Amino acid sequence: MKIAYITEFDVKNKVRSSWRKNQLGHWGCCYYIAKYLEDENTTLHYLGPLLQNNTLIPKLKRRLYNWFTNKLYHFWAEPIFTKDYARQIEDKLSNINVDVVLCPDINFVSYLKCDRPIVIWVDSAYVGYLNFYPDYTKLCRESINHLIKMDKLAFKKCQAIIFSSEWAASTAIQTYQIAPAKVKVVPFGANIECNRTVDDIKSIVEAKPSSKCNLLFIGSNWERKGGDVALAVTKILNSMGLDTQLTVVGCKPTIDEPLPKFLKVIGALDTFTSAGLNKINQLFAESHFLILPSKADCTPHVLAEANSFGVPCLTTNVGGIPTMIRDRLNGKTFALDASNSEYCDYISSIITNYSEYKRLALSSFNEYQIRLNWFVACQEVKKILVDMIL
């Protein structure tokens, strides 16, 4: 099977760029999809990088919207961009012979004219982001219309639409009346390498202290990822007599007080460097739980990454997270309006019954092995593609 794989950037280039600095998670997702799709029976033709042309007028419009309306305007959603991307892709496709076109973005295929089957694999339709993510709140009507049009055009062109969660799939089906048979759900994997075995996880768990609790918070947005809840929970646990430390990676806590002694703040880590990878591996290995009380999220890769170390996840029942985290198997999801004491009661009950923690840790690793890794995910997607083109 020959696949044309569309990305805006050169997915084979690990050298840090300004684009990767801002969207490292998506770059990692595209990288691992390519890595685990390609094998002796599957060839990928890379159709990236793509050039971002005609930016002057849309970027000027963004400033005008911000100055005069206080509304957000997404210049990259302008049809002038998506149509130009389509022309670039069409030129590249004209020089190769492939069976199917695969893209981990919606906007690159919305205006694409192609005589081969098109498939997208994304975490949500754009409509799912509206009034959910901060960058998609207070959008101007023009950008909203552009995003919805891209959704509609892309979904009409695609022979199969793969989402990373049931939430994203049901949102798209209900909003755009897509035939359910056209929609598939395949969760994303972890954006770090893992060669750990069950014995490795047992050793990692045994090395952790059973008399204290290490919580790990990883996210680029303190507010959206629920950093305030993570901090409040840590405070309460310490007041209850459970020695608890919270380590924050990827952002700076927004708090109106000096950093407490139990809070350790680490900057952003690039796991595509040896130093960054070694540090994140150390933090996962030392942590009892990943705590991510997100207010809005699709399918965060960090949940799978934590599970790859046997670290259970404490998170929220929002967006696509319930597809990844299953209660009592690889963590627990809490309601958005759950009290801080609900988190504390659960954490305390698991830590004080350490045999239950060990069971949950091994079960978390098992969920990673059977569902939440890129090898398994890409095998499922390859089957979808093969069945479609036969």
Tell me: pLDDT of 21 over 50: no
Across 314-329, average pLDDT: 98
Across 173-180, average pLDDT: 98
Span 56-105, pLDDT tens digits: 888 889 888 988 898 999 999 999 989 999 999 999 999 999 999 999 99
Tell me: pLDDT of 23 over 80: no
pTM for the full predicted model: 0.95
Residues 147, 77: contact at Cβ < 8 Å?
A: yes
Confidence at residue 273, expressed as pLDDT on a 0 to 100 scale: 87
Tell me: pLDDT of 296 over 60: yes
Strand 289-292 to strand 212-218: parallel, antiparallel, or no bridges (unpaired)? parallel
Element at 292 (helix H, strand E): strand 289-292
> Would you kindly state where each structural domain of the chain is located, as residue ranges?
2-189+374-389, 198-370
Tell me: pLDDT of 246 over 60: yes
Across 174-182, average pLDDT: 98
Residue 242, C-beta contacts closer than 8 angstroms, at least 6 positions apart: 212, 213, 347, 348, 351
Tell me: pLDDT of 136 over 50: yes
d(CA 320, CA 298): 5
Task: For 2-189+374-389, give the CATH class.
Answer: alpha beta
Task: For 198-370, give the CATH class.
Answer: alpha beta
185 token code pair: 């759900």
CA distances from 110 to 77, 86, 146, 301 (A): 11, 8, 11, 26
